[in-house]
């Protein structure tokens, strides 16, 4: 890498080209601890890295949406593959704070709350924007961002605009799949309601394993993204169990009870429900039965 970075007049005084490009001085000044706990720096780095990857995923999804709107499926798919790749380090960095016990985390968070107030990353604007793009549309979260007018406007816009799944369905409709107009013309800011018609679209795409290969690849990549999102939430839930137990956490609500319902928020729902029927050509109108269920 060092060979490709050439010094020029744009390099700031007192910096190498690498430091000027990557902004290392700024980056390493952003971990501002508020307690004397030796693990707080690790906690801050963990959350800041998560924030960076969430923003990266936001940008990638927005890029994929532009490709879908231009009917460029190969480039959209290629972009979404990068989203899958970005989710892997998001999952891996949980290991950097796996050492925490309730004694450790509460020592840190008590000082953070005393300094900045109570909050949670799941109420941060970056995570919420990503969730909206993944189709998890919940307007009630906007109230948390009233103190941040710029972010409130950003999230309100994301809430009202198409999610990634909306753009996928619109693309499928443009290429002749039976996507109902009511699905495309609904209130995009409201929670998505799964439909049998969209489930049938995915069943049709997968009906022949040797046909619609590019659409099946898209479906599998979307499934990878949804699974990665769900897996991260599971790791967060278990970290909460491990460091908080059943004590009140988020705005007076017991932490685990607050997080458990979010485990059912899985993006692209009909892509999953359709799998009950995929692979059963003998009786396509009925769910396939596991071979082990046959009576002898």
13 lies in a domain?
no
Query: Of the candidates 192, 204, 174, 179, which has an alpha carbon nearest to the alpha carbon of residue 68?
Result: 174
In this predicted structure, the answer to whether residue 9 has a pLDDT above a threshold of 60 is no
Share of the chain above pLDDT 70, in %: 87
- pLDDT-derived band at 281 (thresholds 50, 70, 90) equals low
Q: Write the DSSP string, 211-261.
A: SSHHHHHHHHHHHHHHHHHHHHHHHHHHHHHHHHTTSEEETTEEHHHHHGG
Query: Of the candidates 189, 207, 208, 191, which has an alpha carbon nearest to the alpha carbon of residue 199?
Result: 207
The whole-angstrom separation of Cα 252 and Cα 234 is 21
Provide the number of structural domains found in the chain.
1
234 lies in a domain?
yes
Are 291 and 282 in contact by the 8 Å Cβ rule? The answer is no
Mean predicted lDDT score pLDDT of the chain? 89
295 lies in a domain?
no
Are 92 and 237 in contact by the 8 Å Cβ rule? The answer is no
Non-local CB neighbours of 207 within 8 Å, separated by 6+ positions? 278, 281, 284
Q: How many residues does the chain have?
A: 296
Specify the pTM.
Answer: 0.89
The per-residue pLDDT for 112 is: 83
19 lies in a domain?
no
262 lies in a domain?
yes
181 lies in a domain?
yes
The per-residue pLDDT for 5 is: 47
The whole-angstrom separation of Cα 293 and Cα 296 is 9
The whole-angstrom separation of Cα 96 and Cα 81 is 25
240 lies in a domain?
yes
- pLDDT-derived band at 274 (thresholds 50, 70, 90) equals very high
| Chain segment 49-91, per-residue pLDDT in tens | 999 999 999 999 999 999 999 999 999 999 999 999 999 999 9
In this predicted structure, the answer to whether residue 96 has a pLDDT above a threshold of 80 is yes
In this predicted structure, the answer to whether residue 134 has a pLDDT above a threshold of 80 is yes
In this predicted structure, the answer to whether residue 228 has a pLDDT above a threshold of 80 is yes
- pLDDT-derived band at 114 (thresholds 50, 70, 90) equals confident
**CATH code (residue 93):** 1.20.58.480
The per-residue pLDDT for 171 is: 98
8 lies in a domain?
no
Are 230 and 92 in contact by the 8 Å Cβ rule? The answer is no
The per-residue pLDDT for 194 is: 97
Full residue range of the structural domain in which residue 92 is found: 26-277
The whole-angstrom separation of Cα 182 and Cα 6 is 55
In this predicted structure, the answer to whether residue 1 has a pLDDT above a threshold of 80 is no
Of 1-5, 61-65, 136-140, the range with the lowest mean pLDDT is: 1-5
How do 253-254 and 248-250 pair as beta strands?
antiparallel
């Amino acid at each position: 890498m060092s060979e490709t970075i050439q010094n020029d007049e744009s390099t700031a005084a007192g910096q190498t080209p690498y430091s000027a490009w990557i902004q290392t001085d700024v980056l390493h000044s952003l971990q501002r601890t508020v307690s004397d706990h030796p693990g707080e720096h690790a906690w801050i780095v963990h959350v800041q890295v998560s924030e960076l990857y969430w923003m990266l995923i936001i940008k990638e999804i927005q890029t994929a949406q532009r490709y879908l709107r231009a009917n460029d499926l190969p480039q959209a798919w290629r972009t979404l593959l990068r989203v899958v790749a970005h989710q892997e380090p998001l999952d891996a960095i949980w290991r950097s704070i796996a050492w925490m016990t309730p004694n450790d985390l509460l020592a840190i968070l008590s000082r953070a709350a005393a300094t900045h107030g109570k909050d949670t990353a799941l109420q941060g604007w970056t995570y919420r924007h990503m969730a909206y793009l993944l189709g998890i549309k919940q307007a009630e979260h906007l109230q948390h961002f009233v103190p941040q007018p710029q972010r409130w406007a950003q999230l309100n816009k994301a809430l009202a605009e198409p999610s990634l799944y909306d753009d996928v369905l619109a693309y499928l409709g443009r290429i002749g799949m039976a996507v109902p107009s009511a699905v495309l013309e609904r209130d995009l800011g409201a929670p998505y309601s799964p439909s049998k018609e969209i489930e049938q679209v995915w069943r049709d795409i997968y009906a022949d394993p040797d046909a619609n290969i590019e659409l099946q690849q898209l479906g599998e990549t979307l499934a990878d993204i949804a699974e990665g999102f769900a897996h991260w939430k599971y790791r967060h839930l278990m970290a909460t169990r491990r460091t908080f137990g059943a004590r009140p956490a988020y705005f007076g609500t017991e932490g685990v009870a607050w997080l458990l319902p979010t485990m059912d928020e899985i993006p692209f729902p009909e892509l999953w429900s359709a799998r009950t029927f995929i692979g059963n050509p003998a009786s396509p109108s009925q769910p396939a039965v596991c071979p082990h269920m046959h009576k002898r």
